[in-house]
Amino acid sequence: MMNADSLSTPDCLITNEAFSRVRQSQGTYFEPLQGLDPDQFAADTLDPARALEAATILKRVTDVDGKRILEIGAGCGVTHIVWTKHFGIDGTAVEPEGEGFGESASIARDLVAANGLDPSKIVGATGEKLPFDDDHFDVVYSSNVLEHTAEPAAVLREAIRVVKPGGIVQIVCPNYLSYFDGHYAAFHPPIFSNRFFCWWIKTVYGKDPAFAATIRTEVNPVWARRTLIEISESTPLEILGLGQDVFRERMRNSAVGRWMALGKVGRLVKIASTLKLNRLAASVVIALQGWTPLIITLRKRP
């Protein structure tokens, strides 16, 4: 049975209160969109294993042990807790309050406190306006947040501003030139406008497109390259990758994540692997700019 006790690890205690609050708020909201049971949603959201999995990708480009790290989008605080306990980071995380799922910041602070850490490290702020000095952090990290921000380009600029010269920024988000949206558990063609995305969700899947209307579907590799080139005119950057290597590796190993609604994608990848088409499929998808997720990784040049 999925519950707080079954999720808890030495790196992160998951409380019954946190599980219940996520289940009743976000889990209930997304149930008609994803078709995912609220208990499963809460378990996936709060699973500490996700934080360790995220760290393995970040550690390909930088050591995280003991580093001063900013997380844009604390969510319910699990990544902050796991990375603090497991890697000894000096961590800070921002999460907006009173907007959208505004309860997340409150859940995060309560969960951080329950784990014996400082809840003031969860700062009420948005990615577009970070309340930190220039060149302050060794690493700035964010996952599944950029597509929900008001100004994605401003978030990138702020992340680059607050990271130290030589520091790393890694932003993980959906690629809307890809073919699957996890928010709705929906397959789709490449998305070139939010209006089309809303029409697709309503017409093809018969689901309420109100949430789709809030998603920044311009986020894709073409947008990322263009935005980073513009930023590099004032701040020298080295683009380390956009996630193609991770996608190719996962396709080769049939290692699609089990979180949320990704089981549908995993089944297709396993079929491709059985037919020995997974490597070819990966190459074609990458050539068409359709890999997912988009993992924007860069170094701010000294």
pLDDT in tens, 149-188: 999 999 999 999 999 999 999 999 999 999 889 899 889 9
Count CA atoms closer than 13 A to 213's CA, side-chain side. Answer: 6
Q: Cα dihedral angle (211, 174, 219, 78), rounded to 10 degrees?
A: 80
User: How many whole angstroms separate alpha carbon 136 and alpha carbon 163?
Assistant: 6
Its pTM stands at 0.92
User: How many whole angstroms separate alpha carbon 78 and alpha carbon 20?
Assistant: 15
User: Which comes out higher in pLDDT, residue 180 or 84?
Assistant: 84
User: How many whole angstroms separate alpha carbon 302 and alpha carbon 295?
Assistant: 22
Query: What's the farthest any 2 CA atoms get from each other in the chain?
Result: 53
Instruction: Reply yes or no on whether the pLDDT at 38 is more than 80.
Output: yes
Per-residue pLDDT tens over the stretch 220-263: 999 999 999 999 999 999 999 999 999 888 878 765 555 444 45
Tell me, what's the pLDDT at 270? 57
User: How many whole angstroms separate alpha carbon 141 and alpha carbon 297?
Assistant: 9
Rg (the chain; Cα; Å): 19
Report residue 261 as tokens. 């609604």
Structure confidence at residue 195 as a pLDDT band (50, 70, 90)? very high
Quote the percentage of the chain above a pLDDT of 90.
Answer: 77
Tell me, what's the pLDDT at 273? 55
Task: List own/partner pairs for 4-9 with CB under 8 A and 24 or more apart.
Answer: 4/46, 6/43, 7/43, 7/46, 7/47, 7/48, 8/48, 9/48, 9/49, 9/82
Per-residue pLDDT tens over the stretch 88-100: 999 999 999 865 5
Structure confidence at residue 300 as a pLDDT band (50, 70, 90)? very high
Tell me, what's the pLDDT at 256? 55
Tell me, what's the pLDDT at 193? 96
User: Which comes out higher in pLDDT, residue 8 or 99?
Assistant: 8
Mean pLDDT of the 9-14 span: 97
Per-residue pLDDT tens over the stretch 42-55: 999 999 999 999 99
Instruction: Reply yes or no on whether the pLDDT at 60 is more than 60.
Output: yes
Tell me, what's the pLDDT at 218? 97
Mean pLDDT of the 29-42 span: 88
Domains and CATH numbers, the chain: 4-300 (3.40.50.150)
Tell me, what's the pLDDT at 272? 53
Tell me, what's the pLDDT at 103? 86
Structure confidence at residue 280 as a pLDDT band (50, 70, 90)? confident
Quote the percentage of the chain above a pLDDT of 70.
Answer: 90
- Kindly report the average pLDDT of the chain as a whole number: 91
Per-residue pLDDT tens over the stretch 109-149: 999 999 999 999 999 999 999 999 999 999 999 999 999 99
Mean pLDDT of the 68-74 span: 97
